[in-house]
């Protein structure tokens, strides 16, 4: 997951920041108001092999997390179990060598 986060931040930082700001600014309506920014983040990150592999291998826990967010828009803390399951899955994904794409993990 560290690799995916590094790649996402390196290549899509402006999209991620815009989306995060929108979510923070619209706590009760972010799902609707920030959708276009979420799409921009997805488009930006979709081309990288590590992120593609995580999306493929962890689609079920991520879908469950997204569904939880939709059902708990005013109390996203209720979805902590869902995000933890997704993060565990993402951390277990084996990815091809990244070379110099991200710093080595310690």
pLDDT per residue, tens digit, the chain (106 aa), is 565 677 677 778 889 899 999 999 999 999 999 999 999 988 887 777 777 888 889 999 989 988 988 898 888 788 889 888 988 888 887 765 544 344 444 4
Whether 17 is covered by a domain: the verdict is yes
97 found inside a domain: no
Whether 6 is covered by a domain: the verdict is yes
Which residue in the block uniquely carries the two structure tokens 């619209």? Answer: 26
Residue (of 56, 48, 61) closest to 7 by Cα position: 48
In-domain check, residue 105: no
Q: Check: pTM over 0.85? Answer yes or no.
A: no
Give me the domain span that covers residue 41: 2-92
Q: Is residue 76 in some structural domain?
A: yes
In a domain, 102, yes or no: no
Distance CA 55, CA 24 (A): 24
Q: How far apart are CA 9 and CA 35, in angstroms?
A: 19
Q: How many domains does the structure of the chain reveal? A: 1
Tokens of 83: 């995000």
For residue 38, being part of any structural domain is answered with yes
């Amino acid at each position: 997951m560290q690799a995916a986060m590094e790649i996402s931040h390196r290549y899509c930082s402006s999209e991620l920041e815009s989306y995060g700001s929108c979510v923070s600014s619209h706590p009760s309506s972010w799902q609707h108001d920030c959708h276009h920014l979420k799409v921009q983040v997805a488009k930006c990150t979709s081309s990288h092999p590590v992120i593609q592999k995580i999306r493929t291998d962890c689609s079920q826990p991520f879908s469950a997390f997204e569904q939880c967010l939709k059902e708990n828009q005013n109390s996203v803390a209720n979805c902590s179990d869902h995000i933890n399951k997704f993060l565990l899955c993402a951390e277990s994904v084996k990815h091809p060598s990244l070379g110099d794409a991200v710093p080595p993990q310690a």
